[in-house]
Chains A and B, each alone.
Chain A
Amino acid sequence: MQGELLQGTLDLLILKTLALGPAHGHTIAHVIEHRSDAVLQVEHGSLYPALHRLEDRGWIASFWGTSENNRRARYYRLTPRGRQQLADQTSRWDEIVRAINRILRPAEE
């Protein structure tokens, strides 16, 4: 399946990725792709606007740092509000997945 992200799930994945520690945009995209076994392809065209939106809401913060191979890069980290948001959104996500599963596989309930 070519991974088209569901609306709103990119935000959740970014927050989850940053929960592991600060990262720059390139790393975030890579981490999401690797951890999903390359099922989810991050559109870079939507990654940066999403980062901007999250920062605007105060869930993540950014700073300029140096990358692994000595390049200047903009790093993002999770703020306390972002951590709270991650928790809320994760449980909300679980609820939705359960709900969808109840519909898709009624026999297994």
Chain B
Amino acid sequence: MGWTRFFRRRYWDDERARELDAYLQIETDDNVARGMPPAEARAAAQRRLGNATRVREEIYEMNTLTWLEQRYHDLRYGARVLARNPTFAAVAILTLALGTGANTAMFQVMNAVWLRPLPVERPEQLVSVELVPHKGGRSGSRTGRYSVLSVPEWEQIRTRQHVFSSAAVWGTAFFNIARGGPMQLVEGIWASGAFFDTVGVQAWRGRLLTPADDRRGCGSPGVVLSYAFWQRQFGGEPVIGRPMSLDGHPVEILGITPPAFTGIEVGRSFDVAAPLCAVPLLEGPPDPYTTSTLWFLDAIGRLAPGMSVQQASARLGALSPAIYHATLPATYDAEDRQGYLALTLTAVPAGTGVSTLRDAYQTPVWILLGITGLVLLIACANLANLMLARATTRVREISVRLAIGASRRRIVEQLVAESLLVAVLGTAAGLLVARWSSAALVALIARGGTALSLDVAFDARVFGFAIGIAVLACLIFGLTPALRATAVDPGTAMKVGARGTTEAAGRFTLRSSLVVVQVALSLVLVVGALLFARTARNLATQPMGFQPRHVLVAALDLTPANVPADPSAMFHERLLSRIRALPGVEAAAEVSVLPIDGSGWNDRVVVDGREAQTLPMFNAITPGYFDVMQTPIAIGRDFQRADAIGPLAAIVNETFARRYLGSGDPLGRTFDVVTPVGTPRPRYTIVGVVKDSKYSSLRQPLLPIAYLDMDQRPADDSSPHLMVRSGLALPAITGEITRTMAKANPEISLRYRTMESVIDAGLSRERLMAILSGVFGGLAALIAMLGLYGVMSYAVARRRVEIGIRMALGAEAASVLRMVLRQAGALLAAGLLIGGVLAIAAARTAASLLYGIQPWDPLTLGASMAGLAIVGALATWLPARRASHVDPTVALRQD
């Protein structure tokens, strides 16, 4: 009943108006009948009825939801006020849009990487099996991004565990789906038979892998495609049962996963899933089923009913000794055994999938969220200041309303409604900003070749976050000024507004302190931006020990080419001499571990009969590598063709020589490499010493490196990198190389990159931090300076009369100028001082992201302060000039 009345409240209001009118007429008639003159009769009737409008209002309120109605009126009033001040509205909405947009975009990334559950059945039941953090490494080979388990370890877990209702393993891989020529690498996963069933995914087309597909020794395996890959590669054509090529082997397509499922790894979508049993066929020896030192798998399990993650962890921990005893590699010596047997397994929740991004980007994302939070805070402080300024101009209106009986609460509600409107509009615009900038953010993280697929789509959590910050912002910039504005005694307020005296000190102090806060926070952001920019610059421009310009890298896949093991040295040499003969090629070589690509190889060495305490890094190269990289040879010589049949030779870098060989001539000295128990230790003779260079990452210090001759080693590396130095344009040189390769062996697959892009990819995190902190730092400084300008302009406007009097009494323009500048200078100085302390504290929390610079770097701090002080002086100059140009006769005559 109430609801129908609500929607018909206008009708009822009309009805009651007519009814009251009828009453008046009847009463008037009665009065006339009693003998009153008509005019008096009407007046008496009206007196009798009282305030007809009030009666109607009372009835109207009965018909309506007063609360809702009032809010609606407040919002309409707010909208009208905003529409009358379009500049204010635009500035407010824009600043807020930037602030909320930046925060929402950051949260979208956070949501995509950390919070969103996998699109599978009951994701909360999924756990991933991890190693409890342990000291020392395991000797052996770890490949893929989640290399926790070997196949023998997995088989032990599978037979012993009673923790999971089902469990499976998976590993990451790259598959080449081209047959010869340019490589076409796709994101692959190895999956044990129960993988899809455990994760809880149903087939979209065809069928998914089952334990029957994953039997050891399976010949040509069946594979499962992701929906996205199916669309991209096959255009959604029916492909079930059709063959495709995987690393040169024919495989059959069994089925396709649903569109929403992109694998359990966040940030990387899989393209092709192959059964675990296909590893020996596709990867070649050694056989992972019999080798205990090949770690490339991660286990995922679905908790048995009633089992908690803690219980599962405890059970796995208790099982660990038995599992590791049963799989102890026979080749381990005492030290390795001890480390291996101490390993402990544990379970961690995996309902949101797993991701290497979480470790790499945890600190950056938190810091960026902090930065965007500060930007929003600065924007809110600025808005609060604008609101306060506007409230001051409305002080008379508010006083009048308070004086004629409006409750303070109602006026505050009205003022806050206006802020709410700004907050809602600003956040709506902010969502647009976020939509665009989150995509840009993902592109920025992915720049430089990192494959990254992040779904940053809006979901309930993102909207919740946006609404949350909108409300928070509204409270900060709306409520305080509203409370401030209504806390006036109507009498004084009206007097103040009437005549240009100086205003009450209290309100001005609030506005000043808001400016101080803005300046302080923006200094923090500017300092951060400079620190991150210098970090990125330090990393990119530090001496790397080689010249990346004009170096082309081609990843070679020789597996399907069946290059015979023994004559492989000759094959490589023939290939290289052909490439060196190409016009425009200055040098060419092959290398096994590409620098700055993140991968590495270390080994234990014995020098003079004693094992070294630390492990040096290794690399295998062909002659000419140092020419390509332009790493100078300090003493001795490069490898030569003759070394291929001579005694084992090595070239070490200066750090290696210093650390392991002590003083004296390193040439002719030897070191042994520790090999599995029972096999002879190869002894290498040092033939040259090269200058130090960076190994697997730009952040690492210069490490000891031993270079071995690739020609002296049996072909244990079937995917070396071809390095070519050439001043030619890219397409010309890659075309030549591809043709030369195809002539040598059409089965060889190639993938090109430039050395500069490899380095660029290694800098993606630093670039992200530098660019974003720079943008936000600039934005924050701009908003803060607008705030300073606003407050100073306002102060000057309020003091026009006072300044006029001073000038009339003989103050010079210059001294007025100084007076205003001094006032602004005090605000700036206070802000910079507080900001300096905050900046040092903030930079210390980000210290792990910095490189080659201290968090309290005085130059950075000083430059930031000076920069802000200069911009601040500029922002004050205009109002100060205006003050010094006040014409006393005009100023004193106004009002």
List A residues at the B interface (Cβ < 8 Å): 24-26, 43-45, 48-49, 52-53, 56-58, 67, 69, 71-74
Residues of B within 8 A of A45 (CB): 49-51, 54-55, 58
CB of A58, distance to nearest CB on chain B (Å): 7
Residue in contact with A48 in the complex, picked from B2, B26, B55, CB distance below 8 Å? B55
Residues of A with C-beta under 8 A to B16: 48, 52
Chain B residues closer than 8 Å to A58, beta-carbon distance: 1
| B26 touching A44, Cβ below 8 Å | no
Q: What is the bound-complex CA distance between A18 and B362, given in angstroms? A: 76
Which 10 pairs of residues, A with B, have the shortest CB-CB distance? A74-B19, A45-B50, A26-B26, A49-B58, A73-B22, A52-B59, A44-B49, A48-B55, A26-B23, A49-B59
Smallest Cβ-Cβ distance to B48: which chain A residue: A44
Is B658 on the interface with A (CB-CB < 8 A)? no
Instruction: A58 to B58: give the CA distance in the assembly, Å.
Output: 19
Please indicate the chain A residues that have their CB under 8 angstroms from the CB of B55 in the complex: 44-45, 48-49
Within 8 A of A (CB), among B12-32: 12, 15-16, 18-20, 22-23, 25-27, 29-30
Please give me the residue from chain A that is nearest to B5 by CB atom. A56
B50 & A69 in contact (Cβ 8 Å cutoff): no
B61, closest chain A residue (CB): A49
**Assembly CA distance A86 to B2 (angstroms):** 22
The CB with the most chain A CB atoms within 10 A, among B18, B22, B27, B30, is that of B22
Select one of A43, A49, A71 contacting B62, CB under 8 A. Answer: A49
CB pair B19–A71 under 8 Å, yes or no, is no
Q: Can you list 16 A-B contacts with CB-CB less than 8 angstroms, sorted by A residue number?
A: A25-B19, A45-B50, A45-B55, A45-B58, A52-B59, A53-B62, A56-B1, A56-B2, A56-B5, A58-B1, A67-B26, A69-B29, A71-B25, A73-B19, A73-B23, A74-B15
Chain A residues closer than 8 Å to B12, beta-carbon distance: 52
Q: Closest approach, in angstroms, between the C-beta of B57 and any C-beta of chain A?
A: 10
Residues on A with beta carbons closer than 8 Å to the beta carbon of B58: 45, 49
* Further contacts, 5 of them, CB under 8 A, given A44-B48, A44-B50, A52-B12: A45-B54, A48-B16, A56-B5, A56-B62, A71-B29
Name the residue on B nearest A25 (C-beta).
B23
Q: Which residues of A contact B25 (CB under 8 A)?
A: 71
Residue of A nearest to B54 (CB): A45
Q: Are B22 and A71 in contact (CB under 8 A)?
A: yes
A48-B19 CB under 8 A given contacts A24-B26, A53-B62, A56-B1: yes
Chain A residue at minimal CB-CB distance from B58: A49
Across-interface contacts of A56 in B (CB, < 8 A): 1-2, 5, 62-63
Q: How far is the CA of A57 from the CA of B5 in the complex (A)?
A: 11
A-contact 0/1 string along B670-708, CB 8 Å cutoff = 000000000000000000000000000000000000000
A48 and B20 form a contact (CB under 8 A): yes
Report chain A residues within 8 Å CB of B48.
Answer: 44
CA–CA, A56 to B6, complex, Å? 11
Cα(A48)–Cα(B18), bound, Å: 12
Q: Which residues of A contact B26 (CB under 8 A)?
A: 24, 26, 67, 69, 71, 73
In the complex, what residues of B have CB within 8 A of residue A26's CB? 23, 26-27, 30
A100 to chain B, nearest CB (A): 30
Q: Which residues of B contact A73 (CB under 8 A)?
A: 19, 22-23, 26
Chain A proximity of B354: nearest CB distance (Å) = 61
C-alpha spacing A74/B20, complex, angstroms: 9
> In the docked arrangement, what's the CA distance between A58 and B1, Å?
9
Among B5, B19, B25, B58, the most chain A Cβ lie within 10 Å of the Cβ of B19
List, in ascending order, chain B residues with CB within 8 A of A52's CB. 12, 16, 59, 62
| Most B-side CB within 10 Å, residue of A43, A49, A56, A71 | A49
Q: Which residue of A lies closest to B32 (CB)?
A: A69
Query: How far is B8's CA from A52's CA once the two chains are assembled, in angstroms?
Result: 14
A78 to B55, CA, bound (A): 23
Kindly provide the distance from the CB of A74 to the nearest chain B CB, expressed in whole angstroms: 4
Specify which chain B residues have a CB less than 8 angstroms from the CB of A44 in the assembled complex: 23, 48-50, 55
A52, A71, A72, A73: most-surrounded residue (chain B CB, <10 A): A52
Alpha-carbon gap, A72 to B19, bound state (A): 9
A45–B48 CA distance with the chains assembled, in angstroms: 9
Residues of A near B63 (CB, < 8 A) are 56
Q: Which chain B residue lies CB-closest to A73?
A: B22
Which residues of A sit under 8 angstroms from B1, Cβ to Cβ?
Answer: 56-58
